[in-house]
Structure formats: C-alpha cells, structure tokens
Amino acid sequence: MHPILFKIGSFTIYTYGFLVFVGVLCGYFFCLREAGRENINKNVFSDIIFWTLIFSFIGARIFYIFTDFGNFLRNPPEMILSRSGFVFYGGVVFGVISLFFLAKLHKIRFLKLADIIVLGVPLAHAFGRLGCFSYGCCYGLPTDSFIGVLFPKESPAGELGVCVIPTQLFEAFFLILLFIALLFIRKHKKFDGQILSLYLILYSIIRFGIEFFRGDPRGNVFFLSLSQFISLILLIFGIFLYLKLRARSRKI
C-alpha cells in the first residue's frame, strides 16, 4: 500500500485522491463519447456532469458523517475536511436527485441521460475502490487466510494490527465485471431506463454481498449494515423500475 504517490517538497499527491480523479476522468470521457452517440450537446452534457459530481461528493460526505455522527460531534472540522470518508450510496442518492433536476433544466429526458451516465459509474467506482485500498479504508474483517492483507499501522485498517480481507479489491473486480455487463446490455437496450434499473439491481446485489465481509464501522439498521439496508431499498426500487418501464415500452 502506498498512500502517498509522490512528494515534491511540501507538495504531496495522495494515491487515494489521484485514483479517484483518474476514475472520474475515465468515467467522464467514456460518458462524453456515449452522449455524442445519443446526439446530446457535449457542452451541455459536461455542465450536467460537473454539477452532478459536485452534489454526489457532497452527498457522499453527508452520508459518511451520519455513519459516525458521534465522532462528527466531537470533531466536525476533521470529518468535514478529511481527504477520505465518503459513502458511495450518499453520492448515488444526491447524484440521481441532482441529475433529475438538471435534466429538467436542459430539457433532456432523465432516463435517457441516466442510462448514459450510469455506464461510467462502475468504471469510476472501481478506481475509487483501488484508492480505498491504497489508503486502507473500507477494509474487511480480520482473517488468517492467505488472502489477508496487513496494512501499514498509520492506516485505518492498520490500526487493527492484524491481516484483513481486502474487500476493496474484491469490489473493484466486481465493478469491472458490472461495467462490462452494462456495455453488453447497452448493445441490446430496449427502452430508456433499462441500464439505470439494471445497474441498481446488480450493484445492490454486489454491495449487499460484499458487506458481509466488511470490517470497518459503517452504522447499522437492525441486523443489517446501513449499506445493506440501502442496498435492499435500491434493489426493490430497481426491480420495480425495470418492470414498470419494460411494461410501458411494450404498450407503445
């Protein structure tokens, strides 16, 4: 693990931030190409992407604060300004809401726009999980198996002092598979919203399973982790959305 990519004097480039930046950049250019295929003005699309990302990062930070609200009350600046500490589902919720209003503002069909943007999400997210691995956050449960990773003592996972399951790498792997699956689905797309709804279904299943092996504090809802609880909600919503949109497309 290399939390610091390189330093030039007092100027430091952190691996986590660099990989998140690379992921966002890859996702953006991929989606920009898709927007061109759908005859959407690229300047308008870039503006939509910019503001969606801003609100997504805000949402991801807000959800992170809620998962550890006690620590936030003790030291608000540290949690607000930390270079890590984002909850992906918070970014999804705020991102979708902002995208809906931006689509209305620019008079573009929301579902058509969402199908384009959601293609790049797992690609960007995979890079983000590699960033998590480099920093040592979002780690797994302690393990004695050969897959265990011992993180540096100064990292969040390293504070445990034992080997943990590298859930970051597992999720990155499944996110790449999800990206490939969505590309295949795009070639056989039958209706607007199909890619969005299938992304919600498939990622919810992936995340629900990964959560069984996570070891970092994330908050709970009854006997489920907060992320598992949100996964169930999004899974049900994704199935409902898919069936509703498919039925509507068959009536047209």
CB 227 within 8 A of CB 211: yes
**pLDDT score at 129:** 95
* Burial class of residue 2 (count of CB atoms within 10 Å of its CB; 0-12, 13-18, 19+): exposed
Helix H or strand E segment including 5: strand 4-8
Please give the Cα distance from 140 to 154 (Å, whole number).
17
Query: What is the rounded distance in angstroms from the CA atom of residue 105 to the CA atom of residue 44?
Result: 11
pLDDT at 78: 65
pLDDT digits (tens, 9 = 90+) for 134-164: 999 899 999 999 999 999 998 989 999 999 9
Residue 44 burial (CB count, 10 A): 15
Q: Tell me which residue range forms the domain holding 124.
A: 4-251
> 9-13, 76-80, 103-107 — which is least confidently predicted?
76-80
pLDDT at 1: 65
What pLDDT does residue 63 have?
A: 81
What pLDDT, in 10s, does the model give residues 75-91? 777 666 665 567 888 88
pLDDT of residue 89: 84
Average pLDDT over residues 99-122: 94
Q: Name the phi and psi angles at 13, rounded to 5.
A: -105, 115
The number of distinct structural domains making up the chain is: 1
Q: What is the pLDDT of residue 211?
A: 96
Instruction: Assign 13 a pLDDT band (cuts: 50, 70, 90).
Output: confident
Nearest by Cα to 116 from 38, 25, 51, 202: 38
The SS3 of residue 38 is coil
User: Does residue 70 surpass a pLDDT of 80?
Assistant: no
pLDDT digits 0-9 by tens, 33-69: 999 999 999 999 999 999 999 999 898 888 877 776 6
Helix, strand or coil for residue 171?
helix
pTM, to two decimals = 0.89
Estimate to the nearest angstrom the gap between the alpha carbon of 215 and the chain centroid: 18
* Close Cβ partners of 31 (under 8 Å, ≥ 6 residues apart): 45, 49, 116, 117, 119, 120
- Which of 176, 161, 61 shows the shortest CA–CA distance to 120? 176
Q: Dihedral sign for Cα 91, 39, 30, 21, please.
A: negative
Q: What are phi and psi of 219, to 5 degrees?
A: 85, 155
- What gap in Å lies between CA 157 and CA 215, rounded to an integer? 9
> What's the chain's average pLDDT?
90
